[in-house]
Amino acid sequence: MASLDELKRTFFDECGELLQEMETGLTDLQDGTGSDDTVHAVFRAVHSIKGGAGIFGFERLVEFAHVFETVLDSVRHGTLNQTPEVFTVLLMSSDMLSDLVSMSRSGEAIPAGHAAECRHALEQLLGKDKPGSSNGAEDAGDFAGIDFKPVRAGDDDAGDFDFTPVQSDAFEGVADDGKQSYTITFRPRPEMLRNANEPLYILRELRGLGELNLIADLSGLPPLSDIQPDQPYVAWTATLRTDAQRKAIDAVFEFVGGDCDLSIVEDQPPPPVTEDAPPPEAHAEAPAAASSAPVAASKKPDRSHPPAEQRSTAWSTWLASSSSRRPC
């Protein structure tokens, strides 16, 4: 089993390759020699760095990479034009990300507000009026609505390990609002963590598509003392209600498709209830009628004082006819 320090070294070695790929891609895009695949490659590089940094608890690196990744996501989806001004900010952000990786690798404390100016420039590209805080409060929203507490590798306190599965009935009785429901089964493989992809960030992206209900499968979770930092133990079953197209869901798992067991099933809506269907009460009358017939019993009924509500023609007829019967 690889130690935590060895895993960190592997992560930072991969960061060096990813940063080089990112810088080359941005330069090609600025020169006009890049393509859509180049944009995807740059996005994937920042996404992988962010995911690995989240595993090892480099929060300041995660915060900046998240904003950088969000801008790149807008570029690859065509909602942010590839203008010279945009590439100026992206190349500046590439240098800042490289700087943050180097400081994290050396263990150097990152000063407060170190990347604030560059981060503000990224947020302006997204149309935000206010710069985000650098204390991580903004990024706490990454996991809002997900009923799990992310745990970074290396935490030994059992109290920090708090995956709480919550099953909700939030989707019961939902009106037909034009949204489609999907049942998604997502089981990460060890390759996902080794490739610096964080499963909880995948769930965050999925949650951004609509109403998400998650159930965690903890059946593979070993005792805390046996947990290995490079092994995923939790799987999820998700119910997603969304008005997004199926290809948007597939895009969430675009970079991890080979690193997980994945099933996405479109739920079929229940058949509509027609006005011709008989009311439920109509089906209940048949058993009631059948129960009104006399049933042979081992004990002779008391005929001397029938209840008032049973003094009817049916009762009198049955009582008269029974007088000719031999007692049981």
- Residues 245-257: what's their mean pLDDT? 86
Note the pLDDT of residue 45: 92
Claim to verify: residue 120 and residue 21 sit in the same structural domain: yes
Question: Does residue 135 sit in the same domain as residue 190?
Answer: no
The answer on 132 and 8 residing in a single domain is yes
Kindly state whether residues 122 and 236 are assigned to the same domain.
no
Of 233, 266, 299, the last residue of a domain is: 266
Most confident of 26-40, 117-131, 300-314: 26-40
User: Cβ–Cβ contacts within 10 Å for residue 58, how many?
Assistant: 23
Query: How many domains does the structure of the chain reveal?
Result: 2
**Residue pLDDT, tens place only, 260-279:** 999 999 987 666 666 565 55
Q: What would the pLDDT profile of 65-95 be if each residue is shown by its tens digit?
A: 999 999 998 898 888 999 999 999 999 999 9
Q: Does one domain contain both 222 and 132? A: no
Task: Give the domain-ending residue among 237, 266, 295.
Answer: 266
Tell whether pTM > 0.75: no
- For 263, the 3-state DSSP assignment is strand
Q: What is the side-by-side order of every strand in the sheet holding 260-266? A: 211-217, 235-242, 180-188, 260-266
Q: Check whether 229 has a pLDDT greater than 60.
A: yes
Give the pLDDT of residue 198. 76
Q: Are residues 187 and 121 in the same domain?
A: no
185 and 225 share one domain: yes
Residue 171 and residue 125 share a domain: no
In the chain, the percentage of residues whose pLDDT exceeds 90 is 32
pLDDT for the residue numbered 268: 78
Residues 15 and 135 occupy one common structural domain: yes
Q: Please check whether residue 289 lies inside any domain of the structure.
A: no
Ramachandran sector of residue 127 (left: φ over 0; alpha: ψ -120 to 50; beta: rest): left
User: Please, which residues bridge with residue 317 across strands?
Assistant: none
Stronger pLDDT, 39 or 280, i.e. the higher one: 39
The answer to the question of residue 301 being in a domain is no
Asked if residue 81 belongs to a domain, the reply is: yes
Q: Poorest-confidence range of 10-24, 149-163, 191-205, 282-296?
A: 149-163
238 falls within a domain: yes
Please tell me whether residues 10 and 135 are part of one structural domain: yes
In a domain, 60, yes or no: yes
Grade residue 26 by pLDDT with cuts at 50, 70 and 90: very high
Q: Average of pLDDT values for 37-48?
A: 91
Domain contains 304: no
Q: What are phi and psi of 73, to 5 degrees?
A: -65, -35
Q: Note whether 169 and 260 are same-domain residues.
A: yes
At which of 111, 142, 173 does a domain end?
142
Is residue 218 assigned to a domain?
yes
**Residue-wise pLDDT tens digits, 187-215:** 999 888 777 677 877 888 888 889 999 89
Residue 64, domain CATH? 1.20.120.160
83-97, 205-219, 274-288, 298-312: segment of lowest average pLDDT: 298-312
CATH number at residue 210: 3.30.70.260
Model pLDDT for residues 126-157, shown as the tens digit of each residue? 885 343 433 433 444 444 444 444 444 444 44
The tokens describing 47, both together, are 């996404």
Distances (CA, A) of 311 to 145, 253, 291: 63, 73, 17
Which is it for strands 260-266 and 211-217: parallel, antiparallel or unpaired?
unpaired
Range of the domain at 33: 4-142
Q: Are residues 111 and 235 in the same domain?
A: no
DSSP 7-40: HHHHHHHHHHHHHHHHHHHHHHHHHT---HHHHH
